[in-house]
């Protein structure tokens, strides 16, 4: 059992830590509200652009390269993590999923190309010798499309140029405040986009359907990446809020335990002093 001064100092430092984690929990909660609204507000746009692109693809005899499977030699991975920790297993779950997928699909790291959105994912794969050809670090808590436009455009453009043959995206799907899920989504090629859409035989396209798809499909692929980022940000703030709440609760339990320990030590000290006084009086008699 430590001295009374040591226990008292631990109680004070734990209380200060608890105040910090409680403040961080409240900040994350306020950020989560807006991030959740942003993610939900983007869903109708994604559904509509998917519907339009699917209808055109189904009603047009086109050989657009983004709609065609080709032999896979290299694969690109868009990995969305956070710039900082203190959000539970949010980052480690994404990194673990990507690492396992690469090990399963490729015999060599050279066959995997990484586009990293977030500092932790970028640093992890760079430090382990992966080919991280582009990254975005320091995104705002509520990012706009302009912040990731360059990396999204580069990822889609390199696929069109034949640098690699498919793109997978890994992000955290936001379910609710206490629940999220790591998602693997194939961004390109878009082989399933027109399968469920009815053929648009009653429509005439001006310009041609091929010309529309040439512009629309890259925008759709880039929108998939942005939509995943919005969901990831909501999941990040929710994970941070939950982690800080757990830290605050644990600090409270530790304070209670230390307070009990302090009271016992203080009681033992008082008892010892009383015993010494009684012993001294008895010796004088």
Domains belonging to the chain, first-starting first, are: 4-22+244-284 (1.10.287.80), 26-239 (3.40.1380.10)
CA dihedral (263, 266, 272, 276) positive or negative: negative
User: Following DSSP, what letter does each residue of 102-128 receive, concatenated?
Assistant: HHHH-SSGGGEEEEEESHHHHHHHHHT
pLDDT of residue 115: 94
Exactly one of 79, 87, 158, 224 is catalytic; which is it?
A: 87
- For the stretch 154-203, pLDDT in tens is 998 888 888 888 999 999 998 888 888 999 998 888 777 655 555 544 55
Rounded to the nearest integer, the mean pLDDT of the chain is 85
Q: 66 in the Ramachandran plot: left (φ > 0), alpha (ψ -120 to 50) or beta?
A: alpha
Tokens of 155: 């990822």
Going by pLDDT thresholds of 50, 70 and 90, the confidence category of residue 61 is: low
Q: Which residue has the higher pLDDT, 281 or 35?
A: 35
Verify whether residue 137 is a known catalytic residue.
no
Asked if residue 269 has pLDDT above 80, the reply is no
What local confidence, expressed as pLDDT, does residue 194 receive?
Answer: 56
**Confidence at residue 98, expressed as pLDDT on a 0 to 100 scale:** 92
For 95-106, write each residue's pLDDT tens digit: 999 999 999 988
Sheet with 166-176, side-by-side order of all strands: 131-136, 112-117, 75-80, 166-176, 179-188
Dihedral pair phi/psi, residue 10, rounded to 5°: -65, -40
Q: Residue 200: its pLDDT value, please?
A: 47
């Amino acid at each position: 059992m430590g001295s009374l001064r040591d226990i008292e100092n631990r109680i004070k430092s734990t209380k200060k830590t608890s105040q910090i984690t409680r403040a961080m929990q409240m900040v994350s909660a306020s950020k989560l509200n807006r991030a959740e609204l942003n993610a939900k507000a983007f869903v109708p746009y994604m559904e509509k652009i998917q519907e339009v692109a699917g209808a055109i693809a189904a009603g047009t005899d086109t050989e657009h390269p983004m709609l065609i499977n080709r032999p896979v030699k290299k694969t690109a991975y868009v990995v969305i993590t956070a710039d900082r920790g203190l959000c539970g297993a949010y980052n480690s779950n994404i990194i673990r999923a990507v690492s396992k997928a690469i090990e399963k699909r490729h015999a060599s790291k050279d066959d995997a190309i990484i586009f990293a959105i977030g500092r932790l994912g970028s640093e992890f794969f760079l430090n382990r010798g992966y080919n991280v050809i582009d990254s975005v670090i320091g995104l705002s808590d509520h990012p706009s499309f302009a912040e990731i436009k360059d990396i999204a455009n580069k990822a889609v453009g390199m696929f069109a140029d034949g640098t690699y043959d498919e793109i997978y995206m890994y992000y955290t799907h936001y379910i609710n405040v206490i629940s999220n899920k790591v998602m693997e989504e194939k961004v390109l090629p878009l082989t399933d986009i027109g399968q469920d859409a009815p053929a648009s035989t009653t429509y005439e396209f001006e310009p041609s359907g091929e010309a529309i798809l040439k512009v629309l499909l890259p925008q759709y692929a880039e929108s998939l990446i942005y939509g995943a980022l919005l969901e990831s940000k909501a999941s990040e703030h929710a994970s941070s809020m939950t982690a800080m709440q757990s830290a605050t609760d644990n600090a409270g339990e530790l304070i209670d335990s230390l307070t009990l320990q302090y009271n016992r030590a203080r009681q033992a000290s008082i008892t010892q002093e009383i015993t010494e006084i009684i012993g001294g009086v008895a010796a004088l008699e």
